[in-house]
Amino acid sequence: MAAHNIGFVGTRFSGTDGVSLESAKWAQILWDHKNVSYWYGGKLDTDPAISMEVPEAYFYDRDNVTINEQVFGVRTRTPRTTKKIYELSEYLKGTLYDFIQKYDIEMMVVENALCIPMHIPLGLAITHFIAETGIPTIAHHHDFYWERSRFAVNAVDDILRMAFPPSLPSIQHVTINSFAQNDLSWRTGNSSILVPNVLDFEGDPPQIDEWTADMRSEIGLSPDDVLLLQPTRVVPRKGIEHSISLVAQLKNPKCKLVVSHESGDEGDEYLTALTDLALHQGVDLRFIHARVGDRREKDSGGQKVFTLADAYAIADFITYPSLYEGFGNALLEAFYFKKPVLVNRYSIFVTDIEPRGFEVIKMDGFLTRDVVDSVRLVLEDAEYRDGIVNHNYELCKAFFSYSVLRRKLRTLVTNVTGLEDL
């Protein structure tokens, strides 16, 4: 079995965002089969021995932020902006040549940098690099620019059509849902392989252990409180107001709504609105992002920092009333940790997940009395609840496990090497 040096390229491989997490899973499968993964990005928390961090490739790099301010929300750009885009692109292309040469990279996996224009010069640099070298490339697309309203008005449509994503013979395109697969095809003419997000359903989910045992008390909950976990960032498309309304309608003072993540880069207006709504409806709403990190550790004050996995482990119920998702990692995580879940029937759930036969409590944009009664039943009936979560776990083994990813990657790598490498 031949081993290959594979370079993962993106703007960020750090933290717990979906792109970083899925990239790590891909790398793990490739590593398991003797392929060696190397990392290129603007922000990295990967092993420095196998990584090249180029700060200018990060989407929060000052020059890139300035470019974005000058090209989105307007229809024309200045000659100076065009020059800046191409100058930064040329610099980044040079660093890609350095990366490929330093680690003798034989194949690239580009993670989201060729589909959503968070960093236009980087996408342009990667496109030109692939065009010049013909390097075999797997372009893993998580989000396309046409799916985001903030990119709809722009002054770089020429570049977006060329590089987000490019149509080049050495690129294999990968999409994560059937909507994206169809959109890519009719917008660009590019075919793609559909590779869903996955989790390790071949093993057993983590249980509450010594570190997690006191997490409830650490975040101010009593042992008999009912913990409804909203495992998302605090952004409007997550529909957290529905979770607040659910808790209010359950009319059980023991029910507490806990949100695991912070607002991020989209401001705090939504958080403020949610806090006011919870206060008005008498809901105990807690934001615990300060106590949830990438790893278990003690903070500067000596308090425990838990992981998102710890939060899932202690939760009684998962709320996931998102209005839109590219796939829905939190839903897979709910299935993985064997937790019952409320789902707003977002489009990808309807097309790619629901037809598999998962048993979840479903809402169609608004809460009904039946939805609230179903949540109450699943919280109170342990036998019914266990049947649901075990059924979902077994389905995930078949459709969203590492074995699925292994088969898909085998096809992608074999298309390049001609050998069955996975």
Write the CATH number for 64. Answer: 3.40.50.2000
Residues 406 and 395 occupy one common structural domain: no
Query: Whose CA is closest to 126, among 181, 196, 54, 65?
Result: 54
Residue 25's alpha-carbon distances to 8, 19, 282, 397, in angstroms, are 12, 10, 41, 16
Q: At residue 189, does pLDDT exceed 60?
A: yes
- Identity of the amino acid at 126: I
Tell me the residue type at 212: T
Of 54-68, 133-147, 290-304, 374-388, least confident by mean pLDDT is 290-304
Contact 303, 213 (CB under 8 A): no
Asked whether residue 193 falls in the same domain as residue 242, the answer is no
Tell whether 118 and 83 lie within a shared domain. Answer: yes
Let me know whether 345 and 225 are in one domain: yes
Q: Which of 227, 253, 172, 422 is nearest to 337 (CA)?
A: 227
**Is the Cβ–Cβ distance between 400 and 24 less than 8 Å?**
no
Q: Would you say residue 264 has pLDDT above 80?
A: no
- Same domain? For 71 and 147 the reply is yes
Rounded distance between C-alpha atoms, residue 293 and residue 301, angstroms: 15
Phi (first) and psi of residue 165, to 5 degrees: -100, 165
CA distance 185 to 399: 24
Reported confidence tier of residue 1, pLDDT bands at 50, 70, 90: very low
User: Same domain for 54 and 67?
Assistant: yes
Do 105 and 229 belong together in one domain? Answer: no
Flag whether pLDDT at 421 surpasses 60.
no
The DSSP symbol for 72 reads: B
Is 206 within the bounds of a domain? no
Residue indicated by tokens 């009684």: 316
| Triad 154, 157, 162: Cα angle to 5° | 145
Name the phi and psi angles at 225, rounded to 5: -70, 150
- On whether residue 422 sits in a domain, the answer given is no
**325 in the same domain as 383:** yes
Containing domain of residue 274, as a range? Answer: 215-399
Task: State yes or no: pLDDT of 168 exceeds 60.
Answer: yes
Pair (83, 134) in one structural domain: yes
- Report how far residue 271's alpha carbon sits from residue 268's, in angstroms, rounded to the nearest whole number: 5
The lowest-confidence range among 18-22, 44-48, 194-198, 376-380 is 18-22
**Residue 142 included in any domain:** yes
Tokens of 202: 């071949």
Q: How many separate domains does the chain show?
A: 2
Residue 209 lies in a domain: no
**69 Cβ contact list (under 8 Å, min separation 6):** none
Does 388 reside within a domain?
Answer: yes
Q: How many helices (H) and strands (E) does the chain have?
A: 15, 18
Residue 204 in tokens: 């057993």
339 in a structural domain? yes
| Phi, psi at 350, each rounded to 5° | -65, -40
**What distance in Å separates the CA atoms of residue 383 and residue 167, rounded to the nearest whole number?**
52
Residue 90 placed within a domain: yes
Kindly report, residue by residue over 79-95, the tens digit of the pLDDT.
999 999 999 999 999 99
* 256 and 162 part of one domain: no
- Residue 417: which pLDDT band, with cuts at 50, 70 and 90? confident
d(CA 27, CA 150): 31
Instruction: Kindly report, residue by residue over 292-305, the tens digit of the pLDDT.
Output: 988 899 988 889 99
Tokens of 137: 């490339």
Cα 280 to Cα 262: distance, rounded to the nearest angstrom: 21
Residues 219 and 366 in one domain: yes
Please give the model's pTM, rounded to 2 decimal places.
0.88
Q: Clarify whether residues 170 and 61 are in a common domain.
A: yes
Asked if the structure places residue 208 within a domain, the reply is: no
